[in-house]
Amino acid sequence: MIVAAIIICSLCCCNSVAALSLSPEISRRNVLRTSYTAAATPILHQLLSPDIANAASNLGLANKLSKRDPSMLKNSVFNIPPGSQVYPEFMHGDWDVTMKYRGFLFPSTSIPKEKLVANVGIPGFQKLSIATVGDVGREVTNYQMSIDKSTKMEDRKLSLSTSINGHLGYDAVREVIYDPKDNPNRISIDFIPNRTRNANRIELFCNGRESELVSAEESASGQTVFLCAEYIRQVTFGLSQEFGVARQVSGNYGHFWTWKSPKDSSSATITGNLLTAAYLDAQDPMFFEEPSKPVVVYSHDLVATRR
């Protein structure tokens, strides 16, 4: 089912992009087809402030993101299985998170936008095709996040279930199966039967991780900044139009998070941003036209308040 009605928000520091409200019957692909052709700089400009860009080393995730160039967000080539993601001290604890949609861009110079929006298999063009952001164009979504103080790891069961339910607007997740000690790179999500046509089950495979901590001393703002990335292959199982045959769709995307520490010790709020880069699957007929660079990039702002 094509997702209806999204609001294209003005991007940070970009007056040329006007907000656009659309009626519910217009599909997301029609929105993308008729809306602007965004430049790469505006959507990425807000990701790193100048002080973070200046602190970025020649290597690492901070340097990659500081370029504000979507072509730098290439898909990871699976090699050695990555370890679990651990988080800095300022993120430890329980959080209520508000995610706000900012916008999107088509960075590919090889494939026309009109050709891309006709491809329903691109992550983000259908609900639940990106598990963490189940409805990419939803204006505001609330979910919960918890970082364990001893293991320094995220409770993926909590964040995924609350994020998916929040994006859908109703409880749909029956169970999230994840054991980081056994395998930190695989997550299974089971849905309540008949709650959504888009998915009965989702399997997530993490093919790569990156992270970097920019200290407050390196940042002109005096705030510590944590950056992390995950490269995901998602396999979605759902209903098909053919009786007795399950629908199976594979998609590839990368999440790039930026989190800033509180401005002062009395603050209970941290802010962040999530860029999601959607890649073509190897089985897609257009794959060799853009085999590693993203064909769509989505942006969301994050505000987390300590519970």
For 48, other C-beta atoms within 10 Å of its C-beta total 23
Residues 130, 133: Cα–Cα separation, whole Å: 5
78 CB-near residues (< 8 Å, 6+ apart)? 207, 208
Q: Which two tokens stand for residue 234?
A: 């998602």
Q: What is the pLDDT of residue 76?
A: 85
Helix ranges, 78-146 (H)? 113-116
Q: What is the pLDDT of residue 242?
A: 57
pLDDT single digits (tens) 238-289:
876 655 556 899 999 999 999 999 988 888 999 999 999 999 999 999 999 9
The DSSP call for residue 221 is T
Residues 233, 230: Cα–Cα separation, whole Å: 10
Residues 227, 260: Cα–Cα separation, whole Å: 9
Q: Is 217 helix (H, G, I), strand (E, B) or coil?
A: coil
Residues 27, 133: Cα–Cα separation, whole Å: 17
Q: In the chain, what is the straight-line distance between the N-terminal and C-terminal CA atoms, in Å?
A: 36
φ, ψ at 46 (rounded to 5°): -80, -5
Kindly give the parts of the chain with pLDDT less than 50. Answer: 1-27, 29, 31-41, 46-51
Question: Is the sign of the CA dihedral 294, 300, 131, 256 positive or negative?
Answer: positive
Residue with tokens 């989505």: 298
Give pTM, 2 decimals: 0.84
